[in-house]
Each structure stands twice: as C-alpha cells, then as structure tokens.
A = this chain, B = another copy of it.
Amino acid sequence: MSDHLVLFAPSGKRGRFASGVSVLDAARSLGVDLDSVCGGRGLCGRCQIAIGEGEEARLGITSRAAHVSEAGEVEARYQARRGPLAAGRRLGCQARLCGDVVIDVPEDSQVHRQVVRKAPSERPVAVDPVVTLHAVEVRRPDMQDPSSDGLRLIEALKAQWGLSGLSLPLSVLTGLQATLRQGEFLVTAAVREGREIVAVWPGVVTRMAGLAVDLGSTTIAAHLCDLTTGAVLASGGAMNPQIRFGEDLMSRVSHAMLNPGGAAELTRAVREGLDALVGAVAAEAGVARGEIVEATLVGNPVMHHLFLGIDPVELGAAPFALAWDGPIDHPAAELGLRIAPGAKIHVLPCIAGHVGADAAAVVLAEAPHRDDAMTLIVDVGTNAELVLGSRGRLMACSSPTGPAFEGAQLTAGQRAAPGAIERLRIDRDSLEPRYKVIGCELWSDEPGFDEAVGPRGVTGICGSGIVEALAEMYLAGILTGDGAIDGALAARSPRIRDEHRSFTYLIREAAAGGQRIAVTQHDVRAIQLAKAALHAGAKLLMARMGVEHLDRIKLAGAFGSHIDPAYALVLGLVPDCEVGQVEAVGNAAGHGARIALVNKAARAEIAALARRIEKVETAIEPEFQAEFVAAMALPHATDSYERLALSVPLPERRAGRRSRRRA
C-alpha cells in the first residue's frame, strides 16, 4: 500500500497521501495552517515542522519505519545560508512522506499564529494581515511568444499560488521590470486581500512591515510592526506640524476657512510630518520604507479630513456633517506617505461628526462590545470622546471640554513635557504643596530636587497636574464646594493670595530661570467647565442607555494615562464608579490602529460596529445642558467619593492598583 496516514497536530486533521508527497502539500490539501512564502522551494524556512515521534501510539499509528524522507541537499543549503534548524525540525516542503506519521506544526509555522499584546491589559489579537507574501518564478520574456512582464507575473502567481484576478497597480508596475531582472525572474510579491499586488521584491523575501498611525491634534504617533509576527519594531512620536496654524482644532478649522488654500496647507503639513516620522521610525527599526506594505490610520474627524485632503469647514458648525464616515483604503503614495509603491493606508471609520476614527480605534482596542460589563470609555483631547455600552449596545458622543485638560489656557498651564508639574500633594495643616515634575524622579521637598530638575526649572503645570492640584486643594479645604478659592485662608497661609480681586493658590514663586506657578480662580473655573462637560456627556449617555451605574471606566489617551483615577473621581471628571474599576488604558487609539493593521477581520468588525454605534449629539440635547450645570459643583459628592477622600490614603490605593496591573 503506497498510501500513508498523516496526522497533523495540534489541528488533528488527518488524511492519506501517496509516498513522496511533501508534508507542505499534504498540509495544504487538508487545510492545515502551515505557512510558506517561497512556495516549497526550501528558501523561506516558514514551513518548519517536527516529526511527532512520541505520539504514534496515542493516535493509532503503529508503523515504526522511516516516516519521512531524509533531509537532503535543499535543506543543507538552507541551513548553510540561514543557520541550522532547531533539533527535530524539518522544512515541510522538503520532507516527503514515506510512512504513517504524526506531524507537529509549531506555533511559529502557523500562518495565524501570533498574538499582539504590548501590555497585559491589551486584548490578544491573532496576526492575520491583509497582505501576504508569495515568492514566484516568472517566465522570462521570449520574442517567439511576446507577452508583458506584468502579465507573466500575474500568470505565475495564479499558477504557483492559485491567486486569480490579481491586479497590478501602475505604481508597482513602474518598477517591475528592473525587479524581475534583479531577482533573475525569482521575485516575492506582496499581495493585498488576495487581489492586488502592492510590492514586488527580487528573490525570496520573508519579512514585511506595517505601520499604525495615531494622528492627534498635538502629536502624531507611529508604530512600525513586523506584519508576519505582529511585533512592534519601533514606535515614535512627533509634534503635529499643523500646530503652527493653531494649537487647537477649531483654530485650524478657522485657518482653513479664512485663508485661501489654508486647508491644503494644513493637509500638506500633516502629511509631511507623518512621512518624516515614518522615515525616522523605519530608520530606527532598520526597515526600508519599501518594506512597509500597509498602514492604518486613526484620528479625530478634523485630523481625519485634513489628512485626506478634505476641507474640514463643515465640521466647524452644526450639523457637523462628515464628508465620509466609512473606512477608506487609499494608496499611501497619494497621501504623501513614501512606503512600498502600491501600499495602501486603511483609515478606520469615523463614528460621527465629533467622534472620529480615533474613537473607533479605542472601541476596537477595548472591545466593550465583547463584554457584559457596562463600560464607559473616555478619550480626552481638545474634545472628549465618550463611548458607553456593553455587548448589546454601544453609544457615543463627544463633549466640548476645551483644551484645559491639555494644560492650555491656564495661567501656568502647559503641555505634558519635561518641567511640567504632574503630581501634587497639599499638607492638610500647613497648606504647603509638594510636587513632582515630568523628567525628575524626586518630589519637590526631597533633597537635591532643584539640581535634579536642572537649569530649566519647573516650567508649568500639565493637565494631570492641574487635576491633582484642584483635588488636593479641595481635600485641603482651599476650594469650596462651588469651586471658590477660600480667601479666609489667606490669614493661615501666605500661599493663598488676594490678587486682582480674586484669590490664587501659589505653588511656586518665580525663581531664577523659573516661572511663577499658581492656580488662579480663573484656572479653577476653566477646569470646572471642562470636567462638567465631560461628566455631563457621560451622564447623558447613561440616561440614554437607561443605566445609573457603571461597571467600569477606561481612561484612554495621554491625559487619561496620566491622571490618577482616584483624583478624577474626587473632582468628578467621570460619574461615580468603584475606584478599582477605573483604569488608564494608555494609547488605546494607537493600539486599535495596530490591531486593524495586523488583523484583517478587525477592520470588518469595527466597520460594522461603527455603523451600529448610536450617536448622541450633545449640542442639541437639553439634558446635556442640565447635566452640565449640575456637574459644575465640586465635589460631585457620592458614596465612593467619601470612601475615597476621607478613609483611604490615596497614594497607597494607587500603588495597590498599579501593582495589580503589573501582575
């Protein structure tokens, strides 16, 4: 009997094959998930398998004869070039069946093998990118039978990989002839969605990279990933060069409206900024631009439109109509991104006029729709984007918090950057502050602080710093319940000062080279307005959803990562929730972009979900106004607030939460 029983582990798939059939071919015909880029030429090493020697009995195979062919010349050449195979490993394309056998497919040889997780809190996602690699030998041109190089490449991909109906965009075609000759007509094609060739490289190529971009109003973040493993190769950030046209989004929209060509200028600036950042990140990772075969991009609606070259003017006024809200796949080159010639940028869908692709990415990353817990996700930027819901139903809105949480428009406010106060405590008796600044490990009352801070000194107070400052001021009695700085305390502490007919809490006198840092009554009002907006947005969603209790709050984004959840509750930034259930989830938008980069199903998931999410427009909701007014007061007293503020020493509580997340 020339037929041999083959069993693949861990899938358990089995079948009978004739002698001499390669393990790779057997796997393919059974639908076993065994990778290959070179198409069985013994070049890529992606189809490595192990012979499951110990399992025969369990699986009912009794033969003890040689199960597969001996390793031959091809595998010797492979090892000479690429280093020895691990013990027991064979190339599946070279090992040919000689008897009944159990074949182990190790995880690193499976196509859909890896999971992407930068932090334990991140949900695991399988690596299954839209682009796949296919090495092919292309027939050489022949005068007797003239046909184009492009057509012969497409024929080869059909014959050798079963890819039919492939398109070859002009951007790839322009470099094809040189590549074919450089590779002596052995080339590797990167194919997108099994339909479109996005890159062709000479020889057998087994690595490809992808790029996930989070386009923020202030900063652009880019993550370069290995698309075959999902690993982050390098990450980087850069200031959004549009800042020179206006710090906040609405001033950029105004720039676009008031200046002929203004929108085009903003588009050019952000595209150039992104392209430069990609160059830097690629250089850091040692990846050529041409190896980057796919990108994903998220951003708020204004950034989304400006990046795509759409004038954001309609987003500046009611009814806030988006030009387009669905996902977009567009050639990267046309958007100013110099990566692989035919690479596309997948732009995630927007949810509504003020709830952008960044919020969609946050949903993808945090997956409230896969959870029974009623979860509120808050992403604070110039506007706060809020998503509320659970498995059954999701709602989203945005709240006009203004830029106060980003440190803007405050007396001593600044962006989170070295020199900015980010933590602050106030002694309940002396009312003296102690604080930490970004870039320095010491507290201000510890020896050596001034030296450690260096000549730049303490430059201001950032968004998370102002939240702590106000919460501590309240806990120390400096702030009253309606947000007034209590002038009576001026008698008790020189830090309470009567200035310009209102009171100020002085944190730090101007020192040489330093800056006077204080919280004024105006600053308190600005933060009150911002937090009231945020709180009211959340309450509006809860009312619409018909829930009075939140199981979980997730704080996303830079501000959300830096604020202390306990202080957020003290100030009433978000509705009441068990403090242990309030967590910072970091750059969830960036994580969502990475998920969409490495997993094609995630794109369909969020596209469908974005349509399903119910949009709530705060601007036209009378309820929002009522909630907004109610949320101005400080504190928004609740049980949990009392527990938190009066009975639990905050720093310990925080430490406990942190260490739990590390576990």
Contacts and interface: CB of A to CB of B under 8 A. Distances in A.
Interface of A: 141-144, 146-151, 168, 170, 173-174, 176-178, 308-311, 313-314, 318-326, 328, 330, 334, 350, 352-353, 615, 617, 619-620
Nearest to A150: B324
Given A324-B168, A334-B334, A177 B314 contact: yes
Given A170-B330, A353-B146, A615-B146, A176 B318 contact: no
A170 B308 contact: yes
Contact of A142 (B148, B319, B323, B326): B319
Contact of A146 (B144, B170, B319, B323): B319
A354 to B, nearest CB: 9
A181 to B, nearest CB: 8
A310 B311 CA distance: 33
Contact of A149 (B147, B168, B322, B620): B322
A619 B321 CA distance: 63
B309 A170 contact: yes
B328 A148 contact: no
A334 B174 CA distance: 13
A323 B149 contact: yes
- Which among A142, A148, A353, A619 has the highest number of chain B CB atoms within 10 Å? A148
A150 B620 contact: no
Nearest to A147: B325
A182 to B, nearest CB: 13
Nearest to A181: B314
A323 B150 contact: yes
A104 B313 CA distance: 49
A308 B174 CA distance: 8
A143 B314 CA distance: 12
Given A148-B322, A148-B324, 11 more contacts: A141-B314, A141-B320, A142-B319, A143-B353, A147-B325, A148-B323, A148-B350, A149-B323, A150-B322, A170-B330, A174-B309
A328 B151 CA distance: 12
A174 B617 CA distance: 25
B620 A170 contact: no
B146 A310 contact: no
- Which among A170, A309, A310, A328 has the highest number of chain B CB atoms within 10 Å? A170
Contacts of A148: 321-326, 350
15 contacts: A141-B320, A143-B620, A146-B615, A146-B617, A147-B325, A148-B326, A148-B350, A149-B322, A151-B325, A168-B324, A173-B323, A173-B324, A174-B309, A174-B323, A177-B314
